[in-house]
Structure 1
Amino acid sequence: MVRMRNDEFNLARGNVDEMNWTPELLEMETKVEQKIASMTRHIEHIAERNQWKVIQAFQKHKVSDYHFADSTGYGYNDRGREVLDEVYAEVFGAEAALVRPHFASGTHTIATALFAVLRPGDELLYITGSPYDTLHKVIGKENDGNGSLADWGIKVNMVDLLPDGSVDWNKVQAAVNERTKVIGIQRSRGYDWRASFTVEQIGEMVKRVKELRHDLIVFADNCYGEFTELNEPTDVGVDLIAGSLIKNPGGGIAPTGGYIAGRRDLVDKAAQRLTAPGIGAEVGAMLGATRYMYQGLFLAPAMVGQAVRGSVFAAALFEELGYETSPHWSTPRTDLIQALRFDTAGQLIAFVQGIQRASAVDAHVVPEPWDMPGYEHPVIMAAGTFIQGGSLELSADAPIREPYTAYMQGGLTYAHAKLGALIALQTMLDRKLLVLSSNE
């Protein structure tokens, strides 16, 4: 959700040629593009190989236009829905998958997966610190009456990461006990100033967890990470993953939904949780979303590659100006999120408002910080998207607190993501929050 005031910037508008680009800014654009050329080629290679992988999965499962047909009522014998599950499982190197428009969000999808495999008396142990803020209500408190994990007698523990961002295995080993059933991993950084975990690092986590106890279930929140690397967490031994279709795998086309993939027995439990015991994945009309979900998956590797290129450009651009970024522009990517630290709240707000100004949708309105429910500090969000909350599309958000950090993600095309970074910088310049010189 974006809280905005419905007035226009008192800045030059019009088409791109009339945006008052300074010669210094244009010179910097060229310099940055030359600098990131090798990283661009690497990203394009990953996108290409992932595109081939998706096409081969479509071909193996004989996807045809009749699979795009809509279903009604119970949705019995919806072959398009069944084949979509098979294609996702193939792409993610999993035994099975559950892909549905009935998942309302990534949080809903993750909650479904966790409730599916945990029972009263079990324990969930997150080894990558505290998960996203939106999961805190899912974890809940004992007897909160909200149907949270805690309300159902499921204990949740968390082991903070070490100062260098790695897993504290000594504390993990001490925390695992006879009640521990699921080990939780959050791949992406969220609102933390830490590196997101690569698939290789997640594979090492799986190996060490299974050495502690082979029957532990490893669950990974895969949001923002799909198709940024050649492999997925399920390729390296993760038992269950979940993600949102209005992020990477929906390709900017899927109007809603989520997916769960992994071991067949665990995915089946998730299907029983999503619908009802005894019904599972056998029902569920697809609500006209089937074609979009197939087409979105087909487009996803290319769209993710475009977004990642945009993040690299933004990192290199602001590093040229002396700002701290995470990841560094030259760091191999494992998710979409680009964090940038600014000197003042004014610079932070101008950056986010500049991202909104670059949008194709709602560019005429201005995001403002507001007291968003569930957050301790005012939050500003830019999201001029075709799909509400679609974070594969260009967007940015930030809590207004020190250190002043903006989190930028997405961009269905590199040109759009690049434009967003440039207009964000131009907005800072126009407000005299920053001065460019020819020596920058």
Structure 2
Amino acid sequence: MQGNIQLEFEEQWEQWADEAEQLVSPQFRIMDKIVEKNQWKVIQAFQKHKVSDYHFAASTGYGYNDRGREVLDLVYADVFGAEAAIVRPHLVSGTHTISAALFGVLRPGDELLFVTGRPYDTLHKVIGKPGDGLGSLADWGVTTKIVPLLADGSVDWEGVSAAVTERTKVFAIQRSRGYDWRPSFTVEQIGAMVPRLKALREDGIIFVDNCYGEFTEVLEPTQVGVDLIAGSLIKNPGGGIATSGGYIAGKERLVELAAYRMTAPGIGGEVGAMLGTTRSIYQGLFLAPLLVGQAVKGSIFASAVFANRGFETHPRWDDQRTDLIQAIRFPSADPLIHFVQSVQKAAAVDSHVVPEPWDMPGYEHPVIMAAGTFIQGGSLELSADAPVREPYIAYMQGGLTYAHVKFAVKQALQEFKTRGYL
């Protein structure tokens, strides 16, 4: 009996998968072109700076005159169309990297203005509260304003204009949706924000949290007028190989200030042994365009399959992609939890582990996370997470191969079929 049920599901799955792949084939062709252009851009940056085997050598101690590190910064700056960049394994996460950038350019009495609504939950402690004693921005006398997005997910320009004061120093934009049911912002949309923000405050610094967005489009925010961006190497640009790290890119003076925060004033990016990571960071960057393309294709496929089964997805399969994240809305907590558990079950690493919701540091609600990854927390690899709160939305991202994402979608639908969710 069990064998017949399994056979029936396999036949049904093949039909669902074939229908979805026929539907999304035009989107796949668009993504293939983006992968090609980004791959060529990366190779040309390597060639311009004459990357050689000796650049991969490890440095020790202070890391003075580490030519591999210096050239890596130049390569990243070129790839992102920026004046300068710093790329370091010592930046432990996207939150740390963003924090270094913000603390680098903000001073007591300055104001930080988020124009795209609430930032990621993990940044709330960085923003902090006055006198919290944590060394947060607020503790150092930096005030923060957050202008909520309009109901359609667009920027509330009247609200932004009203929020700007003579103390406004940094305009912050979060490119990706975070834990919100809204469209992520495309590079074109971010580029259109730049002149409007500069008109409000000519000397204002425009900062973009670029996490999850790198190489999903042909251009990056620094190529459309943004002053400073930051991201994590265990997301897109590390190519699934970089074992840790982050990058900051943009105007040279701003990158220099961020580097002073990363290490110490007067030291900045001039030192820092790379701890044997240089080769993997270079190679990860080389592979990143292809692997980001694989992950995006997986998200497009997942969106089509779940939409065809009656679930609401965001973005839809035919929407333009500007990040890795695929949001899927469920009617209650149970299918949400079982979806995330199915993603874990489909992993090559730790597939036997069953994730459960828990109170994770930096988050305001219990969170369930699936992360059977080779790099801990590596979200270019297939992962999924969700705050267990209404509305019940799971956020799936990554997938080093399209086939892996497809396998995880199959695993989830089989679980749903067994539990009667379909």
Could you say which TM-score interval applies, normalised by the shorter chain? over 0.9
What is the CA–CA distance in structure 2 between the aligned matches of 1:73 and 1:120, rounded to whole Å? 33
* Correspondent of 1:25 among 13, 23, 26: 13
Which runs of 5 or more structure 1 residues have no equivalent in the other structure?
Answer: 1-10, 13-17, 435-440
Which digits, 9 at most, give the CA deviation of each residue in 1:227-279, with x for residues without a partner? 00000000000000000000000000000000000000000111111111111
Structure 2 residue 344 is matched with structure 1 residue 326: no
Aligned to 1:4: none
Aligned partners of 2:129, 2:175: CA distance in 1, in Å? 24
Task: Tell me how far apart the structure 1 counterparts of residues 255 and 346 of structure 2 sit (CA, whole Å).
Answer: 40
The one-letter amino acid of 2:45's match is A
Cross-structure match for 1:39: 27
Equivalent residue of 1:97, what SS? strand
Task: Name the structure 2 match of 1:15.
Answer: none
Paired letter, 2:295 = A
Q: Which residue of the partner structure matches residue 61 of structure 2?
A: 73
User: Paired residue for 2:43?
Assistant: 55
**Does structure 2 conserve the Cα–Cα contact (< 8 Å) formed by 1:141 and 1:150?**
yes
Structure 2 residue matching 1:302: 3-state secondary structure = helix
Match of 1:347 among 298, 322, 335: 335
Report what 2:393 is aligned to. Answer: 405
Aligned Cα RMSD in Å? Answer: 1.3
Q: How does 1:257-272 map to 2 (within 5 A)?
A: 257-272=245-260
The verdict on how the C-alpha distance between 1:267 and 1:217 changes in structure 2, with shifts beyond 3 A counting, is same
SS of equivalent residue, structure 1 residue 390? coil
Query: Cα gap change, 1:64/1:264 in structure 2, threshold over 3 Å: closer, same or farther?
Result: same
Q: Kindly tell me the number of residue pairs found equivalent between the two proteins.
A: 419
Q: How does 1:223-238 map to 2 (within 5 A)?
A: 223-238=211-226
Give the counterpart letter for 2:292 in structure 1: V
Contact 1:371 1:379 in 2 (8 A): yes
Deviation at 1:329, TM superposition (A): 0.3
| Alignment equivalent of 2:199, drawn from 211, 236, 242 | 211
Which moves more between the two structures, 69-78 or 366-375?
366-375
Q: How does 1:421-436 map to 2 (within 5 A)?
A: 421-434=409-422
Judged with a 3 Å threshold, the aligned counterparts in structure 2 of structure 1 residues 133 and 171 are, in CA distance, closer, same or farther, namely same
Say if 2:348 is the partner of 1:360: yes
Measured in 1, the distance between the counterparts of 2:283 and 2:416 equals 38
Letter in 1 for 2:301: F
- 1:284 matched to 2:309: no
How far apart are the structure 1 equivalents of 2:389 and 2:159? 30
Alignment match, 2:365:
377
Partner residue, 1:256: 244
Tell me: CA distance 1:155–1:90, structure 2 relative to 1, closer, same or farther (3 Å).
same
Q: Give the residue type in structure 2 aligned to 1:74.
A: Y
The one of 152, 157, 177 equivalent to 2:165 is: 177
Task: Say which of 69, 88, 91 aligns to 2:76.
Answer: 88
Asked if 2 retains the 8 angstrom alpha-carbon contact of 1:311 and 1:338, the reply is yes
CA contact (8 A) 1:183 1:217 kept: yes
Matched residue, 1:8: none
TM-score by length of 1: 0.93
- Pairwise CA distance, 1:376: 3.6
- Of 142, 165, 170, the residue aligned with 1:154 is 142
Cα deviation digits, residues 377-426 of structure 1 (max 9, x gap): 32211100000000000000112222211100000000001111111111
Q: Percent identity?
A: 71
CA distance 1:292–1:140, change in 2 (3 Å): same
Distance 1:19 1:311, change over 3 A: farther
DSSP 3-state at the match of 1:219: strand
* CA deviation map 1:332-378 (0-9, x unaligned): 10000000011222211111111111100001111112232343432
Aligned counterparts of 1:201 and 1:149: Cα–Cα separation in 2? 28
Name which of 109, 117, 130 aligns with 1:142.
Answer: 130
Corresponding letter in the other structure for 1:58: F
Partner of 1:438: none
- Report the Cα offset of residue 20 of structure 1: 7.4
SS in 1 for 2:139: helix
Instruction: Confirm or deny: 8 A CA contact 1:346 1:433 kept in the other structure.
Output: no
